[in-house]
Structure 1
Amino acid sequence: MQIKDVLLAPGNGAFFYDDQEAVRSGAIQDGFIYVGAPITPGFKSIRIPASSLSVGLVLTDDTVVWGDMMNVQYSGASGRDPLFSTNQISDVTSRVIAPRLFEVDASRYLQACVHVFEPHEDNRLPLAIEYGVSQALLRAAAHLHCGTMAEVVCAEFDLPLPTGRIPIYCQSGDAREINVDKMILKSVDVLPHGLINSRQKFGVDGQTFVDFVKWVATRTSEIGRPGYHPVLHFDVYGWIGQEISLEPQRIADFICKVADTVPGFTLNIESPADFGSTQAQIENNAKIVSILDDRGSSARIVVDERCNTLDDIRLFAEARAAHLIQIKTPDVGSLVDTARAVLLCKENDVGAYVGGSCTETDLSAQASVHVSVATQADMMLAKPGMGVDEAFSIVGNEQNRLLAMLNRRRAQNEKSG
Structure 2
Amino acid sequence: MQIKDVLLAPGNGAFFYDDQAAIRAGATQDGFIYVNEPTTPGFTSIRIPASSLSIGLVLADDTVVWGDMMNVQYSGAGGRDPLFDTDLISDLTSRVIAPRLLDVDASLFCDSCAKVFEPVEHQRLPLAVEYGVSQTLLRAAAHITRKTMAETVCAEFDLPLPTRRVPIYCQGGDAREVNVDKMILKSVDVLPHGLINSRAKFGAHGQTFMEFVKWVAKRTREIGRPGYHPVLHFDVYGWIGQEIGLEPQRIADFICKVADTVPDFTLNVESPADFGSTQAQIENYAKIVSILDNRGSNARIVVDERCNTLEDIRLFAEAKATHLVQIKTPDVGSIADTARAVLLCKANKVGAYVGGSCTETDLSARASVHVSVATQADMMLAKPGMGVDEGFSIVGNEQNRLFAMLNRRRAQNRNR
TM over 0.5: yes
Which residue is 1:266 aligned to? 266
Q: 1:244 Cα deviation (Å)?
A: 1.0
Q: 1:150 Cα deviation (Å)?
A: 0.3
Q: 1:2 Cα deviation (Å)?
A: 1.6
> Hey, what's the Cα distance between the residues in 2 that align with 1:364 and 1:396?
14
> Hey, what's the Cα distance between the residues in 2 that align with 1:358 and 1:218?
27
Q: 1:389 Cα deviation (Å)?
A: 0.3
Which residue is 2:209 aligned to? 209
Which residue is 2:7 aligned to? 7
SS at match of 1:291: helix
Counterpart residue identity of residue 181, structure 1: D
> Hey, what's the Cα distance between the residues in 2 that align with 1:110 and 1:83?
27
Q: 1:263 Cα deviation (Å)?
A: 1.1
> Hey, what's the Cα distance between the residues in 2 that align with 1:413 and 1:374?
18
Percent sequence identity over aligned pairs: 84
SS at match of 1:386: coil
SS at match of 1:71: coil
Q: 1:172 Cα deviation (Å)?
A: 1.3
> Hey, what's the Cα distance between the residues in 2 that align with 1:196 and 1:372?
26
Deviations 1:262-285 (A, max 9, x none): 011000000000000000000000
5+ residue gaps, structure 1 = none
> Hey, what's the Cα distance between the residues in 2 that align with 1:40 and 1:347?
36
Counterpart residue identity of residue 59, structure 1: L
TM (normalized to structure 1)?
A: 0.99
Which residue is 2:76 aligned to? 76
Deviations 1:117-139 (A, max 9, x none): 00011100000000000000000
Deviations 1:233-257 (A, max 9, x none): 0000000000011100000000000
Matched, 1:386 2:386: yes
Q: 1:116 Cα deviation (Å)?
A: 0.3
Which residue is 2:156 aligned to? 156
Which residue is 1:23 aligned to? 23
> Hey, what's the Cα distance between the residues in 2 that align with 1:98 and 1:4?
10
Matched, 1:132 2:132: yes
> Hey, what's the Cα distance between the residues in 2 that align with 1:319 and 1:172?
32
> Hey, what's the Cα distance between the residues in 1 that align with 2:380 and 2:181?
20
SS at match of 1:322: coil
SS at match of 2:111: helix
- 1:142-181 equivalences under 5 Å are 142-181=142-181
SS at match of 2:68: strand
> Hey, what's the Cα distance between the residues in 1 that align with 2:100 and 2:327?
27
> Hey, what's the Cα distance between the residues in 1 that align with 2:240 and 2:172?
20
Q: 1:363 Cα deviation (Å)?
A: 0.2
Which residue is 1:50 aligned to? 50
Matched, 1:305 2:335: no
> Hey, what's the Cα distance between the residues in 1 that align with 2:175 and 2:415?
50
- 1:2-401 equivalences under 5 Å are 2-401=2-401
5+ residue gaps, structure 2 = none
> Hey, what's the Cα distance between the residues in 1 that align with 2:172 and 2:270?
14
SS at match of 1:51: strand
Deviations 1:186-241 (A, max 9, x none): 00000000000000000000000000000000000000000000000000000000
> Hey, what's the Cα distance between the residues in 2 that align with 1:237 and 1:152?
35
> Hey, what's the Cα distance between the residues in 2 that align with 1:175 and 1:126?
32
Counterpart residue identity of residue 276, structure 1: G
Q: Deviating runs (4+, > 2 A) in structure 1?
A: none
Counterpart residue identity of residue 348, structure 1: N
Deviations 1:135-175 (A, max 9, x none): 00000000000010000000000000001100000001000
SS at match of 2:153: helix
> Hey, what's the Cα distance between the residues in 2 that align with 1:308 and 1:349?
19
Q: CA RMSD in A?
A: 0.4
Deviations 1:293-327 (A, max 9, x none): 00000000000000000000000000000000000
> Hey, what's the Cα distance between the residues in 1 that align with 2:280 and 2:24?
20
Q: 1:97 Cα deviation (Å)?
A: 0.3
> Hey, what's the Cα distance between the residues in 2 that align with 1:140 and 1:172?
33
> Hey, what's the Cα distance between the residues in 2 that align with 1:7 and 1:169?
33
Q: 1:414 Cα deviation (Å)?
A: 1.2
Counterpart residue identity of residue 344, structure 1: L
> Hey, what's the Cα distance between the residues in 2 that align with 1:245 and 1:264?
28
> Hey, what's the Cα distance between the residues in 1 that align with 2:321 and 2:343?
17
> Hey, what's the Cα distance between the residues in 1 that align with 2:111 and 2:147?
18
Aligned length: 416
Counterpart residue identity of residue 415, structure 2: K
SS at match of 1:384: coil
Q: 1:349 Cα deviation (Å)?
A: 0.2
Which residue is 1:402 aligned to? 402
SS at match of 1:62: coil
SS at match of 2:401: helix
> Hey, what's the Cα distance between the residues in 2 that align with 1:190 and 1:106?
36
> Hey, what's the Cα distance between the residues in 2 that align with 1:399 and 1:41?
38
> Hey, what's the Cα distance between the residues in 2 that align with 1:73 and 1:302?
18
Counterpart residue identity of residue 48, structure 2: I
Counterpart residue identity of residue 307, structure 2: C
